[in-house]
Amino acid sequence: MKPFCKFAKWALVGLSVINILGSQGQIIPILFFLAAIATVLPPTESLVTQKLPWLEKAAVKAITWLALILIGSYIVVTPEESLATAKRKIAQLEVKKNIPELVTILKKQNDESPLAAEALGNIGDKKAIEPLVATVKTSTHPELRQSAIAALGNLPDPRTVSTLTDTLSDPDPTIQQKSKDALKQLVTQDPQVAQMASKKDVKGLITILEEKDYRSSYVAELLGKLGDKQAVEPLIDTLKTAPKPILRQSAAIALGTLGDERAAQPLINSMKDKDSGVKESAGKALKQLAAKDPKIVDQLLPGLKQGDEIAKAALISLGEPAVDPVIGVLQDLDTSARSHAIEVLEKLGNPRAVKPLVANLTDWDLSAQVGKALATLKWNPQSDADRVHQSIALRKGEDLRKNWSLTRQILLKDVESGDSRKIEYGLYAFMSLGNREIVPTLVDLLKSKGDKILALAYLNCGEPTLEKAAEDWATANGYKVVRSTDIQPKIRWGEL
């Protein structure tokens, strides 16, 4: 038995070494385990004659060998080598078109499985459809799902179309894009579509577009690239009525490419689409239209003035072409219209908006919003007046009180400017800062420059002297003062 044990021991060690060299790093742990056992096995007669302590020593040796072998396996095998080996193995299976073995690897859902999915797609045999579909539906391995979807793009079949259509609404944006690309790949393999595209058969392509099936999305974008305006109305109809977001999105893209003004209002309406991809594509399309015809922006301004969120979103999407028209709305007499314009200008982020926004810092009703927009635009005040006005907008009351001399000087200039808006702004700013030193000046200003609106502000500001001055002004000007707890004061003394 002794020669046999020696032979077994070294044979197993040899097999293990061959395994290491032959597979460039792939180790079969069981061979090493057997080799370890063989190296500590004595001849059979020794097992009979030796006592238990020998067995304990043998166990220690076996465990030590096994530990060393396992450590060695991690040292010998690198991830790069393992991946390279897997690629060679799967490439061979692909050449042999060994679908069953590739499907087996696919179902393991390990690091080799995406390679198997790719190989199955390259082979193009419809036997692979079911396992690939199952992988897309059930796998939790993102890379594997992406590879399976890409593979299905090479396998035209109703099952493939159904699966890829479903994954267009997957929560993962990468899966959505992979599905769209795979469907596009399927359509390019459609002989009817390929023939129409090569002949630039616009009418034929419109017929496919109107079918609103999986081919229609690709055909919509193709019609945009062909540039024939007879596709505009069918594309508008698709944008309005297509049930699937991907088709509405492709119609928006095509309409942007065609650049026809008839698409402007439908694209504006699509800015309220529930699907974010459709809204984004509609916004980009509107920007393309505005670049060709700036008058497109004018269609959005009435909505902006009324606070329509769709108009705002569309103007923000337009970017550069929208800046100057929106700046123009800052001159509107309606405070809410100006407020909506400020909101859009802040989000557009164009530096051309800085100067007109600064001019609106002395609009008391909008001062805080203007200050926020200017801060977003990284504006740095250059003059003392700008610094005081921005501090008021940002409600930095303590800073203004610490520099009261400068604050008083700037606000008195506003009050003496002759501009009714600046006068109102200066007086309200004084009241909000709540410095009693200025009260006599405010009383005199009510007498000399006051009106009903200012008197009401004084009457409800919470400062006794100013309230008394407002009552006196009302009596002198034929007004009757009626107190009510329902009145919301425009300004409160010292609130800043």
CB 135 within 8 A of CB 145: yes
In angstroms, rounded to a whole number, what is the distance separating the alpha carbons of residues 5 and 406?
A: 102
Is pLDDT at 417 greater than 80 in this prediction?
A: yes
Is pLDDT at 352 greater than 60 in this prediction?
A: yes
Supply the pLDDT for residue 135.
93
The string of pLDDT tens digits covering residues 22-72 is 444 444 455 555 455 555 555 544 444 445 565 566 665 666 656 555 555
CB 166 within 8 A of CB 140: no
The string of pLDDT tens digits covering residues 101-112 is 999 999 988 988
Claim: this prediction has a pTM higher than 0.85:
no
Q: What is the mean pLDDT of residues 296-300?
A: 88
Which parts of 293-334 fold into alpha helices (H)?
301-305, 309-318, 320-329
Supply the pLDDT for residue 487.
66
The string of pLDDT tens digits covering residues 447-475 is 887 788 888 888 888 889 988 888 888 88
Supply the pLDDT for residue 57.
61
In angstroms, rounded to a whole number, what is the distance separating the alpha carbons of residues 319 and 317?
A: 5
Share above pLDDT 70 across residues of the chain, in percent, rounded to a whole number: 83
Report, at the CATH architecture level, how domain 81-188 is classified: Alpha Horseshoe (1.25)
Using 50, 70 and 90 to split pLDDT, how confident is the model at 19? very low
In angstroms, rounded to a whole number, what is the distance separating the alpha carbons of residues 348 and 345?
A: 5
Supply the pLDDT for residue 227.
92
> What is the phi-psi region of residue 41: left when phi exceeds 0, alpha when psi lies from -120 to 50, beta otherwise?
beta
The string of pLDDT tens digits covering residues 126-170 is 999 999 999 999 999 999 999 999 999 999 888 998 999 889 888
In angstroms, rounded to a whole number, what is the distance separating the alpha carbons of residues 328 and 305?
A: 11
Average pLDDT, the chain: 84
> How does 368-406 read in b/e, with b if 16+ C-beta sit within 10 Å?
ebbbebbeebebeeeeebbbbbbbbbeebbeebeebeee
Supply the pLDDT for residue 255.
95
CB 218 within 8 A of CB 252: no
In angstroms, rounded to a whole number, what is the distance separating the alpha carbons of residues 312 and 183?
A: 34
Is pLDDT at 190 greater than 90 in this prediction?
A: no
Supply the pLDDT for residue 69.
59
Q: What is the mean pLDDT of residues 191-204?
A: 91
Q: What is the mean pLDDT of residues 119-132?
A: 92
Identify the CATH number of the domain defined by range 197-292: 1.25.10.10
Longest dimension (CA), the chain: 130
Supply the pLDDT for residue 20.
47
CB 218 within 8 A of CB 165: no
The string of pLDDT tens digits covering residues 205-256 is 999 999 888 899 999 999 999 999 999 999 999 999 999 898 999 999 999 9
Which parts of 189-308 fold into alpha helices (H)?
191-199, 202-211, 216-226, 232-241, 245-258, 264-269, 276-292, 301-305
Q: What is the mean pLDDT of residues 321-350?
A: 94
Is pLDDT at 90 greater than 80 in this prediction?
A: yes
In angstroms, rounded to a whole number, what is the distance separating the alpha carbons of residues 115 and 103?
A: 11
